[in-house]
Amino acid sequence: MSGVIQVGVVGATGYTGVELLRLLARHPEVRLRTVTSRGEAGRAVAEVFPSLRGFVDLRYEAPETERLAACDLVFFATPNGTAMEMAPALLDAGVRVIDLAADFRLRDAAEWARWYGREHACPGLLAEAVYGLPEVARERIRTARLVANPGCYPTAVQLGFLPLLEAGVVDPAWLVADCKSGVSGAGRGARVDILLAEAADSMKAYAVAGHRHWPEIRQGLAAAAGGEVGLTFVPHLAPMIRGIHATLYARLTARDVDLQELYASRYAGEPFVDVMPAGSHPETRSVRGANVCRIAVHRPGGGDTVVVCAVIDNLVKGAAGQAVQNMNLMFGLDERAGLDQPALMP
């Protein structure tokens, strides 16, 4: 790649879109060219988000394909069902696309329609789209025109379970993912259940009967296991702003497995997965603002249950940071460019 990458961000007033602006504004190989919002069109980004004063000198524009077609790469940080309407024309114009929503994550159009409640607008692109979990698909991401950035829960759950399933040391028919998310996972739009007075000092499970991340996680875990998996996935809303904590349970089927060594060797050399020392309990605050998944693996009482704890920042490794990681791979850059920074404390 020669020259800077001209980048467009559609949906640049949402939580993941603004996080993209924060990361891309300091990226050494990127020039932000077009950032869109229908509601804020015409206003300066720095006026709407003073945190970006001095970093982003652009005004919001309406999302128009003609303007976006002048970019090398367009990120969609938009609600599900938006990118699938605009991506075909951009791809035809030679623009590469990373969708942070779920439009291209499932390979089966009928299953997509079942979970997302409408027909897919361009099912022909599902086979071409590369599921952008770099720890699994790094080489295919490098040459992809269209990347489906994974969901936040699916990132934490897949990274947590992968070493066990790839090594075939647990029963793939009995996997449990008990997950907690901060309220920014629900986006920036107003909703009663994420008001401070409703969500603070309280916690609840939701979508226990079925969440749209279930088929996405199952698809990835089945590929790792080499066959169907049985997965129970229960998301919870936790009283914090950023962060996902996934507590994962599986039953060991193999004897004499060194779990710590299994995880350490699976993720050796991975820039954004940190296998913590044996006995650790990763905290969501240790990944706030950072593009990293911290993992600890336990075997309580030396029994046959494996417990994995995986934490990410839903807006970074769970969304915008992973999208930038994918961009770096697609454009032949150092995978860590623009992402090499520690978490915010406290």
Ligand X SMILES: CC(=O)N[C@@H](CCC(=O)OP(=O)(O)O)C(=O)O
Ligand Y SMILES: NC(=O)C1=CN([C@@H]2O[C@H](COP(=O)(O)OP(=O)(O)OC[C@H]3O[C@@H](n4cnc5c(N)ncnc54)[C@H](OP(=O)(O)O)[C@@H]3O)[C@@H](O)[C@H]2O)C=CC1
Active site amino acids: 152
The minimum distance between CB 67 and ligand Y, in angstroms, equals 13
Position 80 contacts ligand Y (CB under 6 A)? yes
Q: Which tokens hold the place of 101?
A: 């929503």
Name residues contacting ligand Y, limited to 15-44 (CB under 6 A): 15-17, 37-40
Nearer to ligand Y among residue 77 and residue 297 (C-beta): 77
Classify 246 as helix, strand or coil: strand
Rounded to whole angstroms, the Cα distance separating 291 from 323 reads 10
Rounded to whole angstroms, the Cα distance separating 99 from 121 reads 14
Amino acid making up residue 108: D
Position 220 contacts ligand X (CB under 6 A)? no
Amino acid making up residue 165: L
C-alpha distance from residue 14 to each of 33, 90, 224, 329 (Å): 18, 21, 32, 24
Q: How many residues bind ligand X (CB under 6 A)?
A: 11
Q: Could you tell me which residues are beta bridge partners of residue 343?
A: none
Name residues contacting ligand Y, limited to 299-318 (CB under 6 A): 314-315, 318
The minimum distance between CB 34 and ligand X, in angstroms, equals 22
Nearer to ligand X among residue 35 and residue 77 (C-beta): 77
Position 20 contacts ligand X (CB under 6 A)? no
Cα of first residue to Cα of last residue in the chain, in angstroms, is 38
Nearest to 277 by CA among 293, 299, 295, 290: 295
The minimum distance between CB 101 and ligand X, in angstroms, equals 6
Rounded to whole angstroms, the Cα distance separating 314 from 244 reads 6
Q: How many residues bind ligand Y (CB under 6 A)?
A: 31
Rounded to whole angstroms, the Cα distance separating 160 from 167 reads 13
Position 14 contacts ligand Y (CB under 6 A)? yes
The minimum distance between CB 311 and ligand Y, in angstroms, equals 14
Rounded to whole angstroms, the Cα distance separating 152 from 312 reads 8
Helices 321-330 and 134-142: crossing angle in degrees, nearest 10, is 40
Nearest to 75 by CA among 3, 135, 27: 27
Q: Is the peptide bond before 346 cis (omega within 30 degrees of 0)?
A: yes
Classify 232 as helix, strand or coil: strand
List the single partner that 235 binds among ligand X, ligand Y, none, CB under 5 to 8 Å by kind. Answer: ligand X
Nearer to ligand X among residue 152 and residue 262 (C-beta): 152
The minimum distance between CB 83 and ligand Y, in angstroms, equals 8
Name residues contacting ligand Y, limited to 170-229 (CB under 6 A): 184-185, 187-189
Nearer to ligand Y among residue 263 and residue 272 (C-beta): 272
List the single partner that 17 binds among ligand X, ligand Y, none, CB under 5 to 8 Å by kind. Answer: ligand Y
Position 185 contacts ligand X (CB under 6 A)? yes
Name residues contacting ligand X, limited to 237-266 (CB under 6 A): 237
CA dihedral 345, 295, 20, 196 (to 10 degrees): -60
The minimum distance between CB 167 and ligand Y, in angstroms, equals 28
**Which of 65, 67, 69, 80 lies at the binding interface for ligand X (CB under 6 A)?**
80
205 contacts 233 by C-beta, under 8 angstroms: no
Nearer to ligand Y among residue 192 and residue 268 (C-beta): 192
Position 155 contacts ligand X (CB under 6 A)? no
* Contacting residues toward ligand Y, per CB under 6 A: 10-17, 37-40, 63, 77-80, 82, 100-101, 151-152, 184-185, 187-189, 314-315, 318-319
Interaction site with ligand X (CB under 6 A):
80, 101-102, 151-152, 181, 185-186, 213, 235, 237
